[in-house]
């Protein structure tokens, strides 16, 4: 398989300075290069006019600016943009631009496919190819920013993949978002199915990132049907770990709760959820099921059932929001990203092929 040249996106300022000195240029040329990548958003060496021509030629011979090839760009009727991209290998993944009245957000992938096998999610149905590199994660943001006249101020790592399985590449990407692009850590959200060792590792770093847990039921029997990960780290353990994360970071946490008709949207489960999470700073974000044909017969609940569930939580003093749903007509909504493309795919691995998480 052809190996594409390395990309400059993914390097921080110190690494760009090292690159400049390797060429024989002064250190400030490396700082200029980093500014071109992350502040100016230059996508081609010809746009970096403040750099000497010889330095640009040398870079062009050995590097590319971005690792991404965009193979499809869709825009929904409610002005959501979705890009299908790959890194020259046709292993495709998706990212989404979400403009709101008060901010512009984006949803980024951290893996090609996903090994977690959640039964309600289109990504999980396709299995797992590989982790994304730091450059591939950051380049998604820059590709989406090029589509927006307004600055993207918020990032949710909730696209394809389980972010905490790729911390080795995600953490350097987060540092680039904070230190090179200038985003607030408080505007960065990691969504996880609940990998207890990695949540603890993240808590020890004390980065003030917002953490969101895909919970989806307070009952192990129901959650285990929806999410195989629950068999390893059941509800009580993962919720306690989220409590510990909140204490360590001082950040409110979010419990994402996908509502599926007559499965996990009962008043009984709403009461059990309120009892489970009461007493520490958190939100519940309700997400009515976005239809994906998973073969399980899942249905979207009625508005009456959603409202009844919400009212129970609110009556118990739980902070509740409901996901503003965008991009349905281009399959860009929560749980719908599938990376569908007519090109070639690597054989994806199932959850059973996933290496064991660190203890």
Q: Which residues are catalytic?
A: 94, 334
Secondary structure class of 255 (helix, strand, coil): strand
Contacts of 204 (CB under 8 A, 6+ apart): 248
Whole-angstrom distance, CA of residue 75 vs CA of residue 97: 9
The half-sphere exposure of 54 on its side-chain side, counting CA atoms within 13 A, is 4
Cβ neighbours, 10 Å, residue 203: 18
Whole-angstrom distance, CA of residue 249 vs CA of residue 281: 12
CB 124 within 8 A of CB 118: yes
Burial class (CB in 10 A: 0-12, 13-18, 19+), 102: exposed
What is the pairing mode between strands 69-75 and 81-86?
antiparallel
Tokens of 264: 């996990």
Secondary structure E strands in the chain: 69-75, 81-86, 93-99, 104-107, 111-113, 128-131, 154-157, 188-192, 210-214, 253-259, 282-288, 319-322
């Amino acid at each position: 398989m052809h190996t594409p040249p390395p990309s400059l996106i993914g390097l921080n300022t110190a690494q760009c300075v090292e690159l400049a000195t390797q060429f024989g240029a002064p250190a400030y040329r490396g700082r200029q290069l980093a500014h071109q990548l992350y502040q100016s958003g230059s996508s081609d060496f010809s746009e970096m006019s403040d750099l000497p021509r010889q330095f640009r030629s040398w870079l062009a011979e050995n590097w590319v600016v971005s690792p991404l090839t965009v193979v499809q760009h869709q825009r929904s009727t409610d002005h959501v943009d979705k890009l299908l991209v790959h890194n020259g290998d046709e292993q495709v993944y998706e990212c989404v631009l979400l403009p709101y009245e008060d901010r512009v957000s984006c949803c980024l992938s951290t893996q090609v496919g996903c090994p977690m096998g959640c039964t309600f999610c289109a990504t999980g149905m396709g299995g797992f190819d590989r982790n994304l590199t730091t450059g591939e994660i950051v380049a998604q943001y820059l590709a989406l920013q090029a589509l927006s006249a307004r600055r993207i101020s918020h990032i949710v790592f909730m696209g394809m993949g389980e972010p905490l399985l790729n911390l080795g590449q995600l953490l350097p990407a987060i540092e680039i978002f904070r230190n090179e692009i200038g985003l607030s850590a408080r505007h960065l959200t990691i969504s996880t199915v609940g990998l207890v060792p990695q949540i603890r590792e993240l808590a020890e770093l004390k980065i003030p990132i917002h953490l969101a847990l895909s919970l989806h039921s307070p009952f192990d029997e129901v959650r285990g049907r929806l999410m195989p990960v629950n068999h390893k780290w059941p509800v009580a353990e993962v919720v306690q770990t989220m409590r510990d994360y909140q204490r360590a970071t001082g950040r409110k946490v979010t419990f994402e709760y996908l509502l599926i008709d007559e499965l996990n949207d009962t008043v009984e489960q709403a009461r059990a959820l309120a009892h489970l999470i009461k007493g520490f700073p958190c939100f519940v974000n309700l997400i009515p099921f976005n239809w994906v044909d998973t073969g399980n017969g899942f249905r979207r609940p009625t508005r009456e059932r959603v409202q009844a569930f919400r009212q129970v939580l609110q009556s118990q003093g739980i902070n509740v929001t409901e996901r503003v749903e965008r991009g349905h007509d281009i399959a860009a909504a929560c749980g719908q990203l599938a990376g569908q493309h007519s090109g070639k795919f690597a054989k994806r691995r199932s959850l059973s092929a996933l290496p064991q998480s660190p203890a």
